[in-house]
Amino acid sequence: MILLKIFLISYVASQSDASDDFYKPLSTFAIKLFQKATDKVYGNVMISPMSIDSALTMAMYGANGDTKTSLFNGLYYSSFGSLSYDTVLNNFQQMMKNLNGNQALQMAIKIYVTDQYNLSLYFKSIATDSFLSEIESINFEKNVDAANTINNWVSSKTNQRIQNLIDPSSLINATRLVFINTIFFTAFWIKKFPAVNTKPDKFYTGPNSYVKGDFMNMMDFINFADFPELNATAVKLDYKNSPMTMIILLPNSRTGLAYMKSQLDQIDWANIQNRFSLQTTVLKIPKFKYSYQIDVKTTLKKMGLSLMFEDKADFTNMINNYNCILKIDKVLHKTFISVHENGTEAAAATGIDFAGSGPPTKPINFIANHPFIFMLQYAGKSVHFIGQVSTLINI
């Protein structure tokens, strides 16, 4: 059995002309992935669904038969009737071109293939033309050198925020391909938090338990929304010269994170902008910075994406050697985020081995002093990063 490894990396430091229908499965996959990955997980988490989605979508075009169908269904493309393999590919190509021209948000994909095999001309064309992927031949038998080569590329694409994604021991003898996807985002808030207003305060990790942390404060016109179906409220914070926005979802109660999270899939996150309106808001959120790493293989299996990991997986559209049986071995994902007075910085890496009314007279209080969820949305449609902040310890 020959193994295909996929590694996805995302980095955030704080447009697209693709069709609206294209974003619906992307957002659906993002929310479902987050729900499954964080089930019964109570610590700080951040994943980049877009990083994972793009790598798996590219792999889909190297698949055949039931494996290809399984990926199309598991990535929710079949849930929206207007989408086909061709329209998904065309939309990804448009999105990648737009991302490539944006300085604040950049995505890069690279395929490392063993020097003993060649990618098929069909798959190579899709990878380079539609996903703008680089391709490099590498000797996986020299696993230390190969890991260093890959890790250096990842580091360079994430401003050195993601280090040592690949352990040499993960590049076993059966490794034939490694997919790497990186997302880098860095931007300043349109409305910065005055540093002089940052003060220490309590962050409640439970009904009465708390830790201390530094909180940023401001009062301004802020995009605010009420989500009664989540028992939560939210604010939307914009960045300068960037299509990205940060949405912070805050449960109404200190212990409301689990319920809020369980109901996220009831919201159409690809069409969420009309839920927000400018309100005079007293805004208080903690500074936070952390990294997170996960093998999302188990999570993807829970979502019905198991065939690609099995011996009967069919990726015969990917390479020329038809005697080589490929399956995906691991989907390693590593992320980093830093939110401060000036803006946001985040990174993620995944690897798969294979109108509102006028402002009210009384300000709204949005005090994020207990566990909450944040999203980084692209063009108000696709969720590129999503995470939960449950504690400020070691931040």
Q: Return the pLDDT at 395.
A: 56
* Residue spans per domain, the chain: 2-188+289-353, 195-287+357-389
Phi, psi of 317 (to 5 degrees): -80, -5
Averaged over successive runs of 10 residues, the pLDDT of the chain (395 residues) comes to 52 53 93 95 92 94 96 95 91 83 75 86 94 91 92 88 88 82 84 92 95 95 96 95 91 97 94 92 93 90 94 90 76 84 67 45 90 92 93 77
Q: Which fold has domain 2-188+289-353?
A: Antithrombin; Chain I, domain 2 (3.30.497)
* Cβ atoms within 10 Å, residue 86: 8
Q: Which fold has domain 195-287+357-389?
A: Alpha-1-antitrypsin; domain 1 (2.30.39)
Strand partners, 223: 236, 278
* Cβ atoms within 10 Å, residue 391: 19
pTM of this structure: 0.89
Q: Return the pLDDT at 128.
A: 93
Token pair for residue 244? 């990205």
Q: Return the pLDDT at 34.
A: 96
Token pair for residue 383? 């969720």
**Interior/surface letters 142-176, b for 16+ CB within 10 angstroms, e for the rest:** ebeebbebbbebbbebbeebbeebbebebbeebbb
Is residue 249 within 8 Å of 275, Cβ to Cβ? no
Q: Return the pLDDT at 102.
A: 65
Q: Return the pLDDT at 255.
A: 95
d(CA 332, CA 298): 11
